[in-house]
Amino acid sequence: MTASINDVARAAGVSASTVSRALRGRPGVSDEVRDQIAAVAAQLGYTASRSASSLASGRTYTIGVLVPYVGRWFFGTVLDSAEKVFSAAGYDVLLYNLGSPETRKRFFTKLPVRKRVDAVLTLLIPDEEESAALRSLGVPLATTVGGIRPGFTVVGIDDRAGTESAVRHLVNLGHRRIGMISGASGPLHWTTPIERRNAYLDVLADAGIEHDPALEADGDYTVEGGERAMTELLAASRPPTAVFAQSDEMAMGALRALRRHRLKAPDDVSVVGFDDHELADVVGLTTVAQPVAEQGAEAARLLLRQLDEPDAEPPGHVQMPIRLVLRETTAPPRPRGPQ
């Protein structure tokens, strides 16, 4: 099999403890012995067994990352950037794709990360019980989604401000019938759709526009859902002239629905998204840009810092900037013909 620490020790003519110390850069080894051991180890292709060392030390050098759906652009991007930060620091990433309720439930009851990770980054929003389960792990916790939660470092954006800028943009263009495609069907503890909805309602009220419940539809944060939602809105007795979608993927679904109805944005309906998806530019989608990759990287960095300085008080909340990106799916409403 592969070389063990004893093989290296024997070949280098020292004890296993010295090899251990030398390879991990701990003090108490003379430089020449250290170099010699490094050479021997390299030559034998020795790498310490993570199982054995974590069993002995209690440290795993592994971070658990919880994701609802890896294939979705937002999560893939956050995961990508977070992984880079972790691996650069010598940590491995254990990935848990917890999209389905069953998988999720099993994860939180069995908690397979117990004794297996030094920290957890969750991209899904745990409810009270799940949060407690994670806290019971006794390791640093971080997230890039949802509101402030005790025991978690959350790196997020100002959902309210982002939504306001999007909806105000539509109001300023002269729209009065402004629909919203939201992702309300998610778990209740996911505050994002709620915050965005409140901001939407506030802007409408502020502009003196009466809210019409028929102008809201659930898009489930997916392209297909967005398409369904838009179709629903178009079927209303008085359809919207503009739509704010709570995510770019839903906005793209909305655009697809428009195409299917032989309608165009912005000529027939204006559409604004949220995220600044990698492909938003391709379809010319006006959207609220948020620094997705940076959020993942920042959350990862904050987690590593907590690992380095266990005594320092971790930041409870970090807010990243957002900005409205104007493209081609928004325009003033078309003057209405005689009704």
Partner DNA sequence: CTGTTAGCGCCTTCAC
Partner DNA sequence: GTGAAGGCGCTAACAG
- Asked if 24 interacts with its own copies (CB under 8 A), we say no
Under 8 Å between Cβ of 319 and 156: yes
Smallest distance, Å, CB 58 to its own copies? 9
Smallest distance, Å, CB 212 to its own copies? 27
Which one of DNA, its own copies, none is in contact with 187 (Cβ closer than 5 to 8 A by kind)?
none
Q: Write the Ramachandran bin of 292: left for phi over 0, alpha for psi from -120 to 50, otherwise beta.
A: alpha
- Asked if 49 interacts with its own copies (CB under 8 A), we say yes
Q: Which of 80/158 has CB closer to its own copies?
A: 80
Under 8 Å between Cβ of 273 and 286: yes
Which one of its own copies, DNA, none is in contact with 274 (Cβ closer than 5 to 8 A by kind)?
none
- Asked if 299 interacts with its own copies (CB under 8 A), we say no
Which one of DNA, its own copies, none is in contact with 338 (Cβ closer than 5 to 8 A by kind)?
none
Helix 223-234 to helix 248-260 angle (10° resolution) is 50
Smallest distance, Å, CB 38 to DNA? 12
CA distance linking residue 135 with residue 49, whole number of Å: 28
Could you identify the residue written with the tokens 């010598």? 90
Which one of its own copies, DNA, none is in contact with 24 (Cβ closer than 5 to 8 A by kind)?
DNA
Position among 52, 205, 235, 326 found at the interface with its own copies (CB under 8 A): 52
Under 8 Å between Cβ of 252 and 235: no
What does the DSSP assignment read for 198-238? HHHHHHHHHTTPPP-GGGEEE-TTSHHHHHHHHHHHHTSSS
Which one of its own copies, DNA, none is in contact with 18 (Cβ closer than 5 to 8 A by kind)?
DNA
| Cis amide leading into 266 (omega within 30) | yes
Binding residues for its own copies (CB under 8 A): 1-2, 45, 47, 49-52, 54-55, 60, 62, 65, 69-73, 76-77, 79-81, 83-84, 87-88, 92-97, 99, 103, 110-112, 114-116, 136, 138, 223, 252-253, 255-256, 259, 278-279, 281-284, 293
